[in-house]
């Protein structure tokens, strides 16, 4: 019965962070960044021509970078890479799957995200003005 009650929340349930694990937070950000990319690109291309530089490019770069890198992590996970062998559920139960190599993959993806965002921000904000 609790599953059905949770589904009644709809999209607003995404923002209830008290019961989220790291995996769930990454998943929600993945969805929101995808929605943001589509909305931003549609509005930007509909009403303006593409002018490189500025905060709009930084926002788009951050969304696309996160969405791409986390999508790569999700694809690797869904195809069984770096998951490891299943283990028997023994009390006390461990929540989530971010253990071992899966944790290292997540940290590597987030580190790459920070590096790429810094590079993209520099390129979008400093170089055109210079």
Rounded CA-CA distance 45/83 in Å is: 40
How many residues does the structure list for the chain?
130
List helix spans (H) across 8-86: 22-47, 55-78
3-state secondary structure of 85: coil
Q: Are 100 and 84 in contact (CB under 8 A)?
A: yes
The tens-digit pLDDT sequence of the chain (130 residues) is 455 555 566 777 666 666 667 777 888 888 888 888 888 877 876 777 666 567 777 788 888 888 888 888 888 887 777 776 767 777 877 666 667 778 888 889 899 999 988 887 887 777 765 5
Rounded CA-CA distance 30/110 in Å is: 13
Instruction: State residue 5's pLDDT score.
Output: 54
pTM of the complete model: 0.62
Query: What does CATH list as the number for 19-84+91-125?
Result: 1.20.1300
Instruction: State residue 53's pLDDT score.
Output: 63
């Amino acid at each position: 019965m609790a599953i059905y009650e949770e589904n009644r929340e709809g999209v607003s349930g995404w923002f209830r962070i008290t019961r989220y694990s790291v995996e769930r937070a990454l998943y929600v950000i993945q969805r929101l960044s995808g929605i943001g990319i589509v909305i931003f690109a549609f509005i930007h291309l509909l009403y303006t021509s593409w002018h490189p530089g500025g905060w709009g490019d930084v926002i788009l770069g951050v969304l696309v970078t996160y969405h791409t890198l986390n999508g790569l992590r999700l694809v690797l996970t869904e195809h069984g890479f770096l998951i490891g062998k299943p283990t028997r559920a023994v009390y006390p139960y461990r929540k989530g799957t971010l253990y071992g190599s899966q944790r290292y993959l997540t940290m590597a993806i987030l580190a790459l995200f920070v590096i790429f965002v810094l590079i993209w921000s520099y390129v979008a904000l400093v170089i055109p003005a210079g």
